[in-house]
Amino acid sequence: MGLTADLLRSGWLWTTMIYLVACLVLGGSSAGGAIANALLQFGGLLIIVSALVLPRRSALPGEARIGLLLGLAAVAIALVQLVPLPWSIWTGFAGRGMIADSLTALGAGQPAMPISLSVDRTIASLLGFIPPLAMLSLGLRLDQPERRLALLVLIACVALSSIVGLLQITGAAQALYFYETTNYGRSVGFFANANHQATLLVMTLPLIAASIPPSDGSKPWWRPSNAVTLWLYAATALMALCAVATQSLAALGLVVVAGVGSAIILLTGRERVGGSRSSLIAGSLVLCVAMLGAGLYAMQQLAVNAEIGAMPGTRLDFYRNTLNAIGHFGLLGSGLGTFVDVYPAFQPATEFSRTYVNHAHNDILELVLETGLAGAILLLAAAWWFGRRSLDALRTTGGEGQLARGAALAIVVVLLHSMVDYPLRTSAIAGISGLLIALLCRPIVSAYRSADSGEA
């Protein structure tokens, strides 16, 4: 890997690896791990402050500056929602009339009120921004070899979560479940929710493809030339298998998407892995067919358990009710994190008695409900930025482009799963996503390290 003692002594690198492992082990639940999430938030805040205070000898790359500004804009939206406003202004906002009537009936007077209908939940959601912003700050300070090492640490942790998940489904490892409220009997790994374990496993597949080390080209690509390559191939098989073992419906489709995308990453990086184009294509087809076969088998098993028929209809009900809520609260939204409070008002009585809904299971709809027009505009801006960076990743050659393409595909996997679930609500997936966003940007360390070399 060409790692040097100087690289291993890098304080930012060690901080990245330690915080990354902490996010994976402690950040597997958005609600069930309050103390663990608080520790991650405190540590992340220290990292962000350090990144701001400690000097750097080169400016942020333009794309990183825009990405950070988008993150700060999200923080600003949440902060504005916490500002108390005069009663006369607040009552004019959409969706506040019934609440105002209730407060008046209770004799609460006419207090100043914030846009958010739940200050505590908005503050909690605001604190949830800390892990991804901390990982973004760390990732920007790593050079390419350090970023590759950080990904290898991530892959190792995901492999460990895979093994824990396999032990969980044996039924003999009850103590290996990390959370009291969890999917007992299913493979959840370090998470509380099997769907989020599936997200982690599938998003890691393109990162493995991007981490395949260079080859001298004397051997076909499928014949490992060193221990790292062999380990990465084994990790690919393990994670594809464990993703299916989670029994997550979304994982069935996403594992095929990730498999095809990973094959493309290998094809576009064939100068790094050696072998002929025909060998690469043949190997990629075998990989995709294997993943598709695994997905079809798991789908058959899920059909036997009658899970396929129930899930889509439930999701559609969530979406319809959330759209009604969006129309009710108008341009300002109900406040970040308030979905669980406002959703029951739009839930039909036939659903209310049998279903507890903590999220919309579509993060775009949920965010638009909670943040209104400002959040919708920010989502569009973030999509534009991500699209631009992904296109640049496709054009970039060498190891830097390979890492960026792997990161882009991994983010796509998370975004696709966010259309039917809420993986980014966990500190683990959010933190990893922050690191992946950094991989789409040029490092800020290259300029001053080059300067140091010149001065020497």
Residue 24: inside a domain: yes
Give how far Cα 126 sits from Cα of 8, 138, 426, Å.
Answer: 33, 20, 13
Q: What is residue 132's predicted lDDT score, i.e. its pLDDT? A: 96
Burial class (CB in 10 A: 0-12, 13-18, 19+), 282: middle
182 found inside a domain? yes
Residue 282 falls inside a structural domain: yes
Residue 168 placed within a domain: yes
On whether residue 138 sits in a domain, the answer given is: yes
- Note the pLDDT of residue 56: 64
Euclidean distance between CA atoms 163 and 203, whole angstroms: 17
Neighbours of 174 (CB within 10 A): 9
- Distance in angstroms (rounded) separating the CA atoms of residues 98 and 57: 55
Whole-model pTM: value is: 0.85
Which domain does 154 fall in, by range?
A: 11-57+120-310+357-443
Q: Count of domains in the chain? A: 1
Burial bucket for residue 411 (CB in 10 Å: 0-12, 13-18, 19+): buried
Estimate to the nearest angstrom the gap between the alpha carbon of 73 and the chain centroid.
19
Does residue 142 lie in a domain region?
A: yes
What is the per-residue pLDDT for 453? 46
* C-alpha to C-alpha distance for 323 and 317, rounded to whole angstroms: 10
In a domain, 175, yes or no: yes
Over the chain (456 residues), the average pLDDT of each successive run of 10 is 50 92 91 87 95 74 91 96 92 84 77 92 95 95 90 93 87 74 85 90 90 61 60 76 78 81 75 46 50 51 46 73 92 93 84 72 94 95 94 85 92 92 93 96 64 44
**Any domain includes 81:** no
Q: What is the pLDDT of residue 451?
A: 43
**pLDDT at position 240:** 78
Q: How far is CA 396 from CA 65, 247, 257, 370, in A?
A: 19, 37, 22, 37
